Amino acid sequence: MVLARYRLETQVERGLALLPKEELEGFILRLKEGYEVFGPTRKGKGHVFGYINSAQHLDLDYQTTILPPKKLLHQPFETLFHFHTEEGVIPGERKLPRQVLFGLHPCDVHAVEILDTVYMQEYEDPFYKAKREKSLIVALNCTSVGEHCFCASMGTGPDLKNGYDLLLTDLGSEYLVEVGSEAGAELVTETGLSPAPRVKVVQKEKRLDWARRGFKKRLVTHDLERLLRENFCHPIWNRLRDQCLACGSCTMVCPTCFCYNVVDKIDLGFKTGKRQREWDSCMLLEYAQVALGHNFRKERDVRIKQRIYHKLLYYEPQFGTKGCVGCGRCIETCVKGIDLTGIIREIRGEHLGKSIPTG
Amino acid sequence: MNTLASLYQPVEAVIADIIPETRDTTTYHFVFRDSQGEEFVFEPGQFNMLTVFGIGEAAISISSDPYRGDGFTHTIRHVGSVTKAVTRLEKGSVVGIRGPYGTGWPVDLLQGCNILVVAGGIGLAPLRPVLYLLGRERKAVGRVELLYGARTPRDLLFAAEYDHWRDKGIKVLLTVDEVPEGTIWEHSQGVVTGLFDRMKSTPENTIVLTCGPEIMMKFVAQGLAERGFSPEQIYVSLERRMECGVGKCGRCQIGPKFVCKDGPVFAYAELLSLPEEVL
């Protein structure tokens, strides 16, 4: 139900506005009056979604971030509650600030929509829901494409159709701002952005066409379900068993991975503590281990196959969508160069020169 | 229960009784501490997430009579961190409970059917609520047989109840892997599938409920298939690691199934449709 509401909100009004780049600072400062702002900022050689104090911290010319914006909705470490070891739960309340997730690329917005389904269908995750309802998304279309991007294959980019409150497109000296929700329309009014002529949409399309020609990677999704079902015993899985280090990096950087572990952290006095959940990874040895030591996915090939099959086959019956948005982070981060698109190419026999139907 | 954490926040329950079962297994009876637990009802085959505060949480099936009004029991084998910590608790100790979760045994399908229950070791615990139910509703079903196997005679769970079950018209066949020297044992020896030759159950109008180690359930399914049973009439209860019980933590997934909310009870035919081999 909540999802339907989010989607409806994105269709309420489609306004257009212009944000000249020299006015970005003022725009951010106005946002900060009502929200905490998180956006892409430089860190070492890469980018992260960081706390934004000023537009000077923002770097909107980024390709991708190390961790996806998921961390702002489903934190790497989250306290579930505090307890007394003999008495039980210690009641407590938390206040959450309103936040703007600024500069999300289309793939990451699609990933947030997938997480909405994961965490809010059937049993609602109270932590995710609370943060999600306090979050606005100011997305940013991709006018250039990264080395590992394949969003076009997954239908999640380089442009965005919905799922945003505001959507920016870099037109050179200014951003075209499209309104996707009532909250977004209010932001445009509050920040005093000027309306944009329709011709700006033509400029936007030209830039996106340019981006669409820039993809170096693709993943052909045509008939993928049958392909995966028939290749559960493909020799590639044995090879990957020897190649993969099972370090879990691919899942840590994935914008749609949702698994977690739960631990009780006890205080020094052994009387009180807190229950905490932490991101977990199906690639790690202990993930599927139960009491007495039995491990349902002991072998690395079984674990890596689980990751790939989950993303490309199992999400569909679970959540009605594929679990991969083509952000390329798992490829970027893998020290052994394991490439999801390469795995599918090899299963298809594409590397042997077989012709592949497009779709 | 309206706090931010409510889905993951357990409700406090108190240990009301402790019943030793075997050398490594104990049955605990719990009652809720406050009025929060008054609405607690469960289906046979469902489980709770049991918290020992400071140690963690584990998925444990409910082993009591679903019609018993005053709380519920867990029969716990002390083999993991939480289940070992439970041994340090005593009457009056506080634990946390979330649940009940998961699909139960297909009790709605049982009416008018013959029922074959096959259990191994601790696997009898999630089946005990069904046996209570069948004992109570004996006339509503046909033939009922229980085949139960354990490691040794000392490892048999709920041994004091077998005669009661027999009185209710449930045929009970027992087997153990080993009989230690000096132990008197009048029943079978060997794996539980060895009891198939002695059972009366046939595929006709029969539903099979089985729980035990996966290797046992695999041979149960195979052995029954050889006797003409179809995968559609066999129901199994699976064990997987669970951190949440509500389909969020991801740990229990098998293919597209979350064992916590799509299971733990599955039709064997459903498992056969998955890409990976489960049993």
- Out of A80, A119, A288, name the one closest to residue B8 (CB): A80
pLDDT in tens, A205-223: 999 999 999 999 999 999 9
- If you count residue pairs, one on A and one on B, with CB atoms under 8 Å apart, how many are there? 129
Structure token pair of residue A179: 């309104």
**pLDDT of A93:** 85
pLDDT in tens, A8-36: 333 333 589 999 999 999 999 999 999 99
Rounded to 10 deg, the angle between the A126-133 and A106-120 helix axes is 140
Q: Which residues of chain B have pLDDT under 50?
A: 1-3
**pLDDT of B277:** 85
Q: Which CATH superfamily is domain B6-101 in?
A: Translation factors (2.40.30.10)
Q: For chain A, which residues make up each domain, given as ranges?
A: 2-212, 224-352
Strand partners, A175: A19, A170
* Full-model pTM: 0.93
Percent of chain A with pLDDT over 90: 88
* A270 lies within 8 A of chain B by CB: yes
Q: Assign a CATH topology to domain A2-212.
A: Aspartate Aminotransferase; domain 2 (3.40.640)
Contact between B249 and A92 using a beta-carbon 8 Å cutoff: no
Is B214:B238 a contact under the CB 8 Å cutoff? yes
pLDDT in tens, B215-253: 999 999 999 999 999 999 999 999 999 999 999 999 999
pLDDT in tens, A61-119: 999 999 999 999 999 999 999 999 999 999 988 889 999 999 999 999 999 999 999 99
Residue A2 pLDDT level (bands cut at 50, 70, 90) = very low
Q: What is the mean pLDDT of chain B?
A: 95
Print the SS3 string covering chain A: CHHHHHHHHCCCCCCEEEEEHHHHHHHHHHHHHHCEEEEEEEECCEEEEEECCCHHHCCCCCCCCCCCHHHHCCCCEEEEEEEECCCEEECCCCCCCCEEEEEECHHHHHHHHHHHHHHHCCCCCHHHHHHHHCEEEEEECCCCCCCCCCHHHHCCCCCCCCCCCEEEEECCCEEEEEECCHHHHHHHHHHCCEECCCHHHHHHHHHHHHHHCCCCCCCCCCCHHHHHHHCCCCHHHHHHHHHCCCCCHHHHCCCCCCCEEEEEEECCCCCEEEEEEEECCCCCHHHHECHHHCECCCCHHHHHHHHHHHHHHHHHHHHCCCCCCCCCHHHHHCCCCCCHHHHHHHHHCHHHCCCCCCC
Is A219:A340 a contact under the CB 8 Å cutoff? yes
- Out of B12, B243, B247, name the one closest to residue A88 (CB): B12
H/E element, B167: helix B162-167
Q: Is the pLDDT of residue A359 over 50?
A: no
Contact between A292 and B241 using a beta-carbon 8 Å cutoff: no
Strand partners, A19: A175
Q: Assign a CATH topology to domain B107-272.
A: Rossmann fold (3.40.50)
Backbone angles phi, psi at B189, to 5 degrees: -130, 140
Terminal CA-to-CA distance of chain A, rounded, Å?
31
* A279 lies within 8 A of chain B by CB: no
Task: Determine the Cα–Cα distance for residues B227 and B215; give it in Å rounded to an integer.
Answer: 19
Is A65:A57 a contact under the CB 8 Å cutoff? no
Contact between B7 and A126 using a beta-carbon 8 Å cutoff: yes
Task: Determine the Cα–Cα distance for residues B279 and A105; give it in Å rounded to an integer.
Answer: 43
Q: For chain B, which residues make up each domain, given as ranges?
A: 6-101, 107-272
pLDDT in tens, A179-204: 999 999 999 998 899 999 889 999 99
Given the cut 0.95, state whether the ipTM is greater than it: no
Strand partners, B50: B58, B97
Contact between B250 and A273 using a beta-carbon 8 Å cutoff: no
Task: Determine the Cα–Cα distance for residues A152 and A212; give it in Å rounded to an integer.
Answer: 7
